[in-house]
Amino acid sequence: AENTREELTLHIQNCTGAATVEVSGGRTFRRVNFDVQGEAVEVINIATLRAGTYTLRVILDSETYVGILTQRQYGR
């Protein structure tokens, strides 16, 4: 996964089937569902997330991968 202030880009390989990405933290919960046929690149808009730490969960069939997403505040 790669992220900028506005986008989280996931690169998924060697997988076929449904994929779910969840971003949660504070009062925020966002879920994105998409299909993978061998490989996929999914771009998720995170521009509206407030500064903070979020749990990132990627669910592929029966496997779940968990990570941390840190959204920093810019400006001012």
Q: Which of 13, 11, 8 is nearest to 30 (CA)?
A: 8
Average pLDDT over residues 46-50: 88
| Domain made up of 2-71: CATH architecture | Sandwich (2.60)
Q: Where are the domains of the chain?
A: 2-71
Alpha-carbon distance of 30 to 45, in angstroms, equals 10
Average pLDDT, the chain: 89
Residue 47: pLDDT band (50, 70, 90) is confident
Tell me if 3 sits within 8 A of 13, measured CB to CB. no
Percent of the chain clearing pLDDT 70 (strictly above): 92
